Structure 1
Amino acid sequence: MVKGWHGWLGTINGVVLTTVLLLPLAALTVWAVARRRRSAGTTSAWRTSLADVGIVYGTVPWVWMIMLPGDQAGVVPGRVALVPLRDLLTIFSDGGPLTATVQVVGNLLVFASVGFFAPLRFRALASVPRILALAAGSSILVETAQYVLRLDRVSSVDDVLLNAAGAGLTALASRRWWRATPDASADRRPQPAPAAGR
């Protein structure tokens, strides 16, 4: 049973349960924002509203979880793993296949929503290399924060690689809808002046 604010927001199980319970609110937010945008004459109101809410709802809980402090937070110095795949191999050998699988899948999902929805929302991000760069840069910021704040976590290059890979894979999954994304700049193109009457 999750009790108190720390149980809801300070543990991984609590954050997962809170995220599930907030799903109806997220759906209601999509509906409300889309309705407001449609009444304002915005094109693709449903698409942009779903993308906006999807990016936030699908990313914030994961980032929150990986920023939760460990038992020795503030006591032990920050740890860094800069050799690719070494951290994953250590987890696999020490924790076993199940722990390693959970670690890999969890890291793939951190910026998966960004990879899926950002190209649909922002024409400038409708590119797999740009999504990879965005996810990698965001992951580096998170890993740096873990180190600087001494959260008793390992700041690992493997996490960066997996976070970026997850975003790239979901970007590929949504690629078929990129071309359907409206170009907002087209609405601002100057129209030719009507011919003067005689």
Structure 2
Amino acid sequence: MPDSDAPDPTLLLCHTVGPDRGADLRERLLDRGLPADRVVAAATPAETDARIADADGLVLGRLPDGLLDRADALRWVQTLSSGTDYLPLDDLRDRGIALTNAAGVHADPIGEQVLGYMLSFERELHTLARQQAERRWERREGGELRGKTVGIVGVGAIGTRVAELAGAFGMEVWGVKRDLDTMPAVVDEARARPPTSTRCVSPPTTSCSRVR
């Protein structure tokens, strides 16, 4: 039976979240009803170090060296990233610490970033920007995305958003996914290894997907 006298859990927003983002996230959590004295937004490494021993939950960007060794009460870690391969997963599992990530949250910005790179290479924008900085005005003929084929390896939230944006540019989209039954309709064709003009690799980092 729960101890009614036990203090509420303490949630620590690590300084690696970023001071501004941490303060904003804290306000959002308080608006959801969390007690103000139990949500701590650390702005500096010293503030994180001062509160980590009593933290039940930890929200972080990157993981500072040695931080988990001092987290005696920790029961939950939330990352701001989709990937978790940079964390000591075996140690967290052995200590019974729950781990959650931000899968799907970054689909829009990363999808747009991928399309930005595709446009940059196809239109040679990076070369033109360099020539402009060097005050060289050499004419270049860039290509077009329309009619090209993009192959997406790992059609999750990010891959799906890339597929949507690529389709809007008139590209044919081929996708690779373990469960073909859940392939989104925006993918034109599912292939094992598509011969494509461009490939976007976005699977989760596992023992199966890691490049050796």
TM over 0.5: no
Give the strand-richer structure, 1 or 2.
2
Q: More relative contact order in 1 or in 2 (CA 8 Å, sep 6+)?
A: 1
Give the helix-richer structure, 1 or 2.
1
Q: TM-score, normalised by structure 1?
A: 0.29
Q: TM-score, normalised by structure 2?
A: 0.28
